[in-house]
Amino acid sequence: MTLSEVKQMISHLRSTPICELEVSELGFSLKIKMNCAPVAMTRGGAETWYSADRLPGGPSSINPQGVFLKSPAVGQFRASHPSRPGRLAHLGKQVMSGEVVGLLKIGPLYRAVYATQRGTIVRSLVEAGQTVEYGQTLFELSPR
Amino acid sequence: MMEILSCAALTSVQDLGRYGFRRIGVTVAGAMDKLALAVGNILLGNQLSSAGIEITICPFRVRFHQDTSIALTGADCLATLDDVPVLPWWTRSVRAGQVLTLHTPVHGARAYLTVGGGIDVPVVMGSRSTDLKANFGGYRGRALKKGDILNIGASLRPAASASAGTDDFGVEPPASALPSNGLPQNLPGVISVRVLPGAEYERFPESALELFWRTDWVITPNSNRVGYKFIGPPILPSTDLEVFSHGLVPGVIQIPPSGQPMIQMVDCNSSGGYPNLGTVIEADYWRLAQARLSGAIRFVKTTHPEAVSALAAERDYLNTVTRMANVFRAGKPGAVNSVRASVRRRAGA
Q: What is the mean pLDDT of residues B324-341?
A: 61
What is the DSSP secondary-structure string of B181-241? TTPPP--TTEEEEEEEE-TTGGGS-HHHHHHHHH-EEEEPSS--SSEEEEESS----SS--
- Residue A26's pLDDT is 63
Other C-beta atoms lying within 10 Å of the C-beta of residue B50: 25
Residue pair B287/B267 in contact (Cβ under 8 Å)? The answer is no
Q: Are residues B130 and B201 in the same domain?
A: no
Residue B336 within any structural domain of the chain: no
What pLDDT score was predicted for residue B319?
Answer: 95
Which amino acid belongs to residue A49?
Answer: W
Which of B149, B177, B205 lies at the terminal end of a domain, its last residue? B177
Contact A110 B320 (CB under 8 A): no
Domain count, chain B: 2
The pLDDT tens digits for B154-208 are 887 655 444 456 789 999 999 999 988 778 877 888 999 999 999 999 999 999 9
Q: Is residue B337 part of a domain?
A: no
pLDDT value, residue B181: 76
Domain around B210 = 190-301
B146 and B253 share a domain? no
Decide if A108 and B328 are in contact by the 8 Å CB cutoff.
no
Question: Quick one: closest CA in B to A49, which residue?
Answer: B344
Each residue's pLDDT expressed in tens, for chain A with a length of 144 residues: 778 878 888 887 777 667 778 776 667 788 888 876 544 433 333 333 333 344 444 444 556 677 899 998 889 999 999 999 889 999 999 999 889 999 999 999 999 999 999 999 999 999 999 999 888 999 999 987
Phi, psi (rounded to 5 degrees) for B173: -70, 155
In this structure, the answer to whether residues B166 and B235 fall within a common structural domain is: no
**Using a CB-CB distance cutoff of 8 angstroms, which residues of chain A are in contact with residue B339?**
21-24
For B269-319, give the DSSP string. -SEE-S-EEEEE-GGGHHHHHTPPTT-EEEEEE--HHHHHHHHHHHHHHHH
Best of B80, B167, B319, B345 to disrupt the A interface by mutation (most A CBs within 10 Å)? Answer: B345
Tabulate helix, strand, coil % of chain A (nearest 5): 15, 40, 45
B333 within a domain of the structure (yes/no): no
Query: Considering B155, B177, B199, which residue would you say is the last residue of a domain?
Result: B177
- Which residues does chain B have within 8 Å of residue A17's beta carbon, measured at their own beta carbons? 343-346, 349
B269 and B202 housed in the same domain: yes
Q: Which DSSP string corresponds to A113-138?
A: EEPSSSEEEEEE---TT-EE-TT-EE
Q: Is residue B218 part of a domain?
A: yes
Q: Is residue B320 included in any domain, yes or no?
A: no
What's chain B's average pLDDT?
Answer: 90
Tell whether B69 and B40 lie within a shared domain: yes
Candidates B171, B338, B348; nearest CB to A109:
B171
B205 and B145 both lie in a single domain: no
- Contact status, residue B91 vs residue B71, Cβ threshold 8 Å: yes
Residue B325 maps to a domain: no
- B297 and B166 in a common domain: no
Both B140 and B22 in one domain: the answer is yes
In what helix (H) or strand (E) does residue A12 lie, and over which residues does it extend?
Answer: helix A3-14
Question: Between A and B, how many CB-CB pairs are < 8 A?
Answer: 127
**Which residues of chain B from 215 to 254 reach within 8 Å of chain A, CB to CB?**
none
Statement to judge: residues B172 and B202 lie in one domain: no
How far apart CA B222 and CA B234 sit, in angstroms, is: 18
Q: Do A37 and B325 touch (CB under 8 A)?
A: no
- Read off the pLDDT of residues B66-76 as tens digits, 9 standing for 90 and up: 999 999 999 99
Q: Which domains does chain A have, with CATH numbers?
A: 54-143 (2.40.50.100)
Identify the closest residue of chain B to A18 by CA–CA distance. Answer: B343
In a domain, B292, yes or no: yes
Residues from chain A that touch B109, judged by Cβ atoms under 8 A, are none
ipTM for the whole predicted complex goes beyond 0.95: no
Q: Are residues B145 and B256 in the same domain?
A: no
DSSP summary character for residue B339: E
Of A15, A4, A16, A10, nearest to A31 by C-alpha is A10
For residue range B121-157, list pLDDT tens digits in order. 999 999 999 999 999 999 999 999 999 999 999 887 6
B63 and B114 share one domain: yes
Which pLDDT does position A57 carry in this prediction? 46
The CATH number given to whatever domain includes residue B212 is 2.40.100.10
Looking at residue B265, its pLDDT comes to 97
Contact A99 B324 (CB under 8 A): no
For B338, nearest residue in chain A (alpha carbons): A24
From B177, B207, B239, the end of a domain falls on B177
Do the domain assignments include residue B278?
yes
- Cβ-contact B254, B277 below 8 angstroms: yes
* Rounded distance between C-alpha atoms, residue B92 and residue B88, angstroms: 11
Judge if B98 and B147 occupy the same domain.
Answer: yes
